[in-house]
Amino acid sequence: MKDKTYIWHELKSHIIITVAVALSALGWCGFLIPNQMLGGGVSGLSTIVYWLTGIPAGIMIFVLNAILIIISFKSLGRRFAISTIYSVIMTSVMFYFGQKYFGDTPLIADKFLASVLGASLNGVACGFIFLEGSSTGGTDVIAVMINKYRNVTIGRLSLFINVVVIGCSYFVFKDIELLIYSYVGLMITSYTIDMTMNGSKQSVQMFIFTSKPHEIADRVGEEVRRGVTMIKGTGWYSKKESEIVMVVVRKTESQGVIRIVKQLDPEAFVSVNTVMGVYGKGFEMMKK
């Protein structure tokens, strides 16, 4: 049973990575590259090489990423490296055939709309790939290595690294308008990466005022599998002492808690507050 669960988990992870890579390739090959947009990292460098030499971006993405993965193999761990190799191979293949399909004809000719749509697709794709414990390679590998030891978001790290890469490309193309559009796309990519990743990690703190605190606490522990804290309180109007149920859960789990409360005590009062960060078992790991 354990082996089947592991196989299913790995299969699901690879399916998600494949779909995400397809979205990224669509963003680049359909919107950014045909409009001569500059991107950061290996994809950006590969795009520059494509414009200068005609070598397909997919081939350069594979070559440059192979070098980075070999360098970072020990630091990032075997599973991450293997998963990254898979996503890099898929990225290279999809970029190669994506360029063959779209050629130099963009889906949208307007450069601003192209930068917004292309960068958004790429950012969402990268976010899902990171959530699966993988990366698209390139500067993402460097960002993940730093994020492993420091509490800095991957999107922000990628932004800092890629700003330098795009800035250097100005000396090749000498086009300030193109540079500005490229920076707009880069900021959108960075923002959507963080939004995609933080959306799944966002937590809420729930206070439940109910006449059935113990029943609700038991159900939350059994079904949602989260710890519950009982807080002694006094209703100022009724002057009655009661126990308040306090629980911290992922935002995606909060509806499960509300469902339990509604079933056991429809008259209960529930307060839900978004929290900035939760560190400890079952949530985020504290870093330096």
| pLDDT greater at residue 143 or residue 210 | 210
**Which residues on adjacent β-strands are paired with residue 232?**
243
For the stretch 236-245, pLDDT in tens is: 888 888 899 9
243, 230 contact by CB (below 8 A): yes
Query: Which of the listed ranges 50-64, 111-125, 158-172 does the model predict with the highest average pLDDT?
Result: 111-125
For the stretch 191-223, pLDDT in tens is: 888 788 776 667 889 999 999 999 999 999 999
d(CA 64, CA 43): 9
d(CA 135, CA 87): 7
Mean pLDDT of 274-282: 74
Look at residue 287 and tell me whether its pLDDT is greater than 70. Answer: no
Q: What is the model's pLDDT at position 235?
A: 82
Residues 6+ positions from 222 with CB-CB distance below 8 Å: none
Scored b (16 or more CB within 10 A) or e, 131-162 reads bbebbbbbbbbbbbbebeeeeeebbebbbebb
Look at residue 2 and tell me whether its pLDDT is greater than 50. Answer: no
Q: What is the model's pLDDT at position 11?
A: 84
Decide: helix, strand or coil at residue 68: helix
Any idea which residue has 């992870």 for tokens? 13
- Work out the mean pLDDT of the chain and round it to a whole number: 82
What are the chain's domains?
2-200 (no CATH), 202-275 (3.30.70.120)
Decide: helix, strand or coil at residue 241: strand
For the stretch 154-167, pLDDT in tens is: 667 767 777 877 88
Mean pLDDT of 11-38: 87
Look at residue 13 and tell me whether its pLDDT is greater than 70. Answer: yes
Q: What is the model's pLDDT at position 162?
A: 79
255, 191 contact by CB (below 8 A): no
d(CA 128, CA 21): 9
Decide: helix, strand or coil at residue 25: helix
Look at residue 48 and tell me whether its pLDDT is greater than 60. Answer: yes
d(CA 148, CA 72): 13
Helix or strand holding residue 43 (H, E): helix 41-53
Other C-beta atoms closer than 10 Å to the C-beta of 186 total 26
Q: What is the model's pLDDT at position 56?
A: 87
Mean pLDDT of 41-57: 81
Q: What is the model's pLDDT at position 210?
A: 92
Scored b (16 or more CB within 10 A) or e, 4-38 reads eeeeeeeeebbeebeebbbbbbbbbbbbbbbbbbb
41 φ/ψ sector (left φ>0, alpha ψ -120 to 50, else beta): left
Q: What is the model's pLDDT at position 75?
A: 63
Mean pLDDT of 145-159: 67
216, 178 contact by CB (below 8 A): no
Length of the chain: 288
Look at residue 68 and tell me whether its pLDDT is greater than 50. Answer: yes
Q: What is the model's pLDDT at position 26?
A: 93
Decide: helix, strand or coil at residue 151: coil
